[in-house]
Amino acid sequence: MKHLQELNRKIAENKDKLDLWIKDQVEKAFIPLYTSVDLRISDHKIVTVDTNIFPAGFNNLSDIFRNQASSLFKEYFNREYPSISNILIIPELHTRNTFYWENISVLKSIIEKIGYRVEVGIISEDVLPNEMEFDAASGKSVKAYRALKQDNRVTIPNFNPDLLLINNDFSERCPQTLRDITQPVEPPVEIGWHTRKKSIHFEFYNKLAAEVADILGLDPWVISIDTIEDYGVDFDNREDRERVAQVVDNMIARLKLEYEQRGVSEEPYLFIKSNSGTYGMAVVNVLSGDDVRGLNSEKRKRMRVSKGGNAVRDVVIQEGIPTSFKYDSNISAEPVFYLIDSQVAGGFLRLNKSRSTLENLNSRGMEFAHIDPCDETTHLDDVDTLCSPALELVARIATIAAGYEIEKILDEGGCKEEVA
């Protein structure tokens, strides 16, 4: 990966300038408390393909990275909230996914390790028992309590939290329970997928990537990802499919020209994704407009709804980046980095035996592999790549982009929809 070696060299040569740029951006933007960043590294690019502001895979971090996460949480809380002692985690509710609850169990232990008292509180419009237990993948159970709002504070029985830590992306709506309360809320619920747009995120990301490329004297194309939004799309409607197909054909033609100019021999391809949503839902990959025109019933069904059963009407059409990572020599893999307060806490690998290097790995059949500091990583052909400073830089660009997203959403009034 010649481009990666060049990028690492340029990062080393311009470290002071980059550090100043990052410091300036972190001061300007509303950096989220934590993020997870999905990265794709190909033979010609290294980019972010997804950024989650409510990460749900802390259980996939190795013990070493969990310790680093504890240290970064402690630094953040000591600086921003020096007097707090009680933290209430607000998780997803409508899931019995044992791996998700393992994530909550691990997140709770990461923060308890640094001296805070931590409980789990459920927010819901439904009538719930005061106390609940959820099975985690390790065989442990996670105890959670019904959270109620009273006198502009959210509490659970016998526990008065000083801070609410959100691990729920509120895909369906913005909860009224968490509005106008006296406790700090991290990250702010205004930026759930009820309001966030991937198109806005990648607009900020590409702009910041161009600034970094200018500092490095690098072609910005190497760390940017072509992304176009389209609104009001119904994939069951032939006219809508034709409109999207024309966008795809134009984009493929443009990418072919860019590939030719840079000596890239691969054929370009695209992902079509819901503009709001996560968990790898409502995603298809296409090679041409004809693939859109001929979408079969299964793929049209896949593009009807995203997480929470929300109808998909707005989409992004995004340049596809094949992964160059292989685990155990033949399993397609991609790195996922976890950041706390814009600092990399650690990461892991997402694997999928049933998917090719071109496909979305965040789908049925995915698995995860621990990684540790570089000299301890096993089963991976690209250890040096995983330890590349370029990956950390691109992940930090994505987190800063998320910070500007938050600024924009809050400036525009935050939640678009609220319910009691």
- 91-147 pLDDT, tens digit per residue, is 998 788 999 999 999 999 999 999 999 999 999 877 788 999 999 999 999 999 999
Mean pLDDT for the chain overall: 90
Q: How confident is the model at residue 240 (pLDDT cuts 50, 70, 90)?
A: very high
Q: Which residues contact 391 (CB under 8 A, 6 or more apart)?
A: 39, 41, 46, 335, 337, 385
User: What mean pLDDT is predicted for residues 392-399?
Assistant: 97
Residue 153 has pLDDT above 70, yes or no: yes
Residue 412 has pLDDT above 70, yes or no: yes
- What is the reported pLDDT for 279? 60
Q: How confident is the model at residue 344 (pLDDT cuts 50, 70, 90)?
A: very high
418 versus 162: the higher-pLDDT residue is 162
Least confident of 230-234, 250-254, 324-328: 324-328
Residue 89 has pLDDT above 90, yes or no: yes
- Between the alpha carbon of residue 180 and those of residues 121, 191, 259, 301, 308, the distances in Å are 18, 16, 51, 39, 25
In percent, the amount of the chain with pLDDT more than 90 equals 70
Domain borders along the chain are 1-53+195-225+321-420, 59-186, 231-315
- What is the reported pLDDT for 305? 65
User: What mean pLDDT is predicted for residues 38-46?
Assistant: 93
- What is the reported pLDDT for 239? 93
First-residue to last-residue Cα distance in the chain: 53
- What is the reported pLDDT for 280? 58
164 versus 387: the higher-pLDDT residue is 164
Q: What is the pLDDT of residues 308-329, one digit of tens each?
A: 556 678 899 999 999 988 888 7
Residue 334 has pLDDT above 70, yes or no: yes
- What is the reported pLDDT for 416? 60
DSSP reduced 3-state for 172: coil
Reference 123, options 170, 90, 152; nearest CA is: 90
Tokens 């194309």 appear where? Answer: 221
Q: How confident is the model at residue 77 (pLDDT cuts 50, 70, 90)?
A: very high
Overall CATH class of domain 59-186: alpha beta
Handedness of CA 360, 361, 363, 364 (dihedral sign): positive
- What is the reported pLDDT for 378? 47
Q: What is the pLDDT of residues 55-74, one digit of tens each?
A: 999 999 999 999 999 999 99
| Rg value, the chain, Cα | 21
Report the b/e string of 353-366 with b at 16+ CB within 10 A. Answer: eebebbbbbbbeeb
On whether the CB atoms of residues 280 and 336 are closer than 8 A, the answer is no
User: What mean pLDDT is predicted for residues 291-318?
Assistant: 80
- What is the reported pLDDT for 307? 55
Torsion of CA 115, 62, 19, 35, to 10 degrees: -80
In percent, the amount of the chain with pLDDT more than 70 equals 92
Task: For residue 379, give both structure tokens.
Answer: 């089963």
49 versus 281: the higher-pLDDT residue is 49
pTM of the model: 0.93
